[in-house]
């Protein structure tokens, strides 16, 4: 992902948490603190361990014991995590009856200001969802 364009995960996680997640996604297998430590110099081993544990408590990583070490891996891919966080955030806003209209209007404005093709895609998705719901 192009971090210069603004990472949507920055709204939910700190810079070190995002670096740790990115390192785990690149590996595509579980890793211990020791496995990751060389990628995070000069970050202290204990800081890295605390960050992994914090991400686990947030539900983003799963942990398994292997001998004396814990192995961590992401629960979801980057795309899946981004989608889950966006859905959770939007869902929380839409639970408030007075917030729904301004949220939807702001969303449409944001989409249309980025790219007209996104607006067309949104229209297609809405029509598809309506077909699914009418079945």
pLDDT at 3 over 60: no
Confidence of residue 4 (pLDDT cuts 50, 70, 90): very low
- The residues with which 31 forms a beta bridge, in sequence order, are 72
Digit-coded pLDDT (tens) for 31-42: 999 999 999 999
For residue 72, give every residue at least 6 positions away whose Cβ sits within 8 Å of its Cβ, in sequence order, or none. Answer: 24, 30, 31, 32, 52, 55, 56, 61, 62, 63
What is this structure's pTM? 0.79
Query: CA of 93: how far to CAs of 38, 88, 108, 116, 132, in Å?
Result: 41, 9, 15, 25, 24
Mean pLDDT within 1-19: 82
Digit-coded pLDDT (tens) for 54-101: 999 999 999 999 999 999 999 999 999 999 999 998 888 888 878 888
Helix 78-94 vs helix 100-114: crossing angle, to nearest 10: 140
Share of the chain above pLDDT 70, in %: 96
Mean pLDDT within 5-15: 90
């Amino acid at each position: 992902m192009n971090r210069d364009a603004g990472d949507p995960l920055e709204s939910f996680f700190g810079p070190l948490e995002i670096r740790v997640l990115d390192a785990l996604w690149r590996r595509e297998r579980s890793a211990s603190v020791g496995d990751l430590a060389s990628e995070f110099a000069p970050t202290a081993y204990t800081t890295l361990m605390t960050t992994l544990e914090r991400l686990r408590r947030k539900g983003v990583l799963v942990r398994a014991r292997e001998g004396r070490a814990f192995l961590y891996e992401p629960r979801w891919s980057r795309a899946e995590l981004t989608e889950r966080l966006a859905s959770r955030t939007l869902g929380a806003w839409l639970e408030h009856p007075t917030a729904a209209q301004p949220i939807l209007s702001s969303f449409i404005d944001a989409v249309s200001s980025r790219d007209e093709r996104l607006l067309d895609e949104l229209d297609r998705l809405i029509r598809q969802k309506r077909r699914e719901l009418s079945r």
